[in-house]
Amino acid sequence: MDKTYNVELRRVFLLENLPEPLTRASRHLQIFDNYIENTRLRLRSIRSPETKEWIWILEQRFLLEDSGRWGISKIHLDENEHRAFEMFEGREINKNEKVQTNEIRKNRYFYQGGERQIKIDLFLGELWGLVTAQINFQTAEEMSKLETPPFAILEVTDNEFFTGKNLVGKTFADVQTEFLKY
């Protein structure tokens, strides 16, 4: 067995809005994901608006054969190491017949849904209007038993369109078009 990565089990849902009692002003993290073109790598920068502190992570992410299973390797970077990778932040790339940036920005909120913590991502920029909920699990059995949260409008766990690297260069209009396919 390959021990260079951990397996993440998760289900992902689309939401219309942040679930109550969350509001845009609720405590959250700011996430800047920069996808390195033609790789499975992303440089994630996380900022806490409260403390103004930054965390930098170089990640390799890849979908495994089973639904909702991802292989993930992470390297936490200090500020100097992050500087070595800054060249990958906000790079212009040609995608969808136009020049785009490789960066996706979102605010992450945390919602307690019963015994589970749910990560709610409110996307910014061209993806404004996209709101997703991600729930992580320890076992496949737990994952299969989860009932859809009452505030979710659609499960997109198995739809690659809604993975981070595939959202690069997309707009909320693209999201709406994909949603209409259901």
* Residues 135-146 pLDDT 10s: 999 999 999 999
- The mean pLDDT value for 95-117 works out to 83
Lowest mean pLDDT among 4-8, 14-18, 19-23: 4-8
Which pair of tokens denotes residue 23?
Answer: 């509001």
Confidence of residue 1 (pLDDT cuts 50, 70, 90): very low
Show Cβ contacts of residue 10 under 8 Å, excluding neighbours closer than 6 positions.
Answer: 68, 70, 134, 135, 136, 137, 143, 157
| pLDDT score of 89 more than 90 | no
Domains of the chain: 6-179 (2.40.320.10)
Confidence of residue 77 (pLDDT cuts 50, 70, 90): very high
Confidence of residue 108 (pLDDT cuts 50, 70, 90): very high
Q: Are 134 and 118 in contact (CB under 8 A)?
A: yes
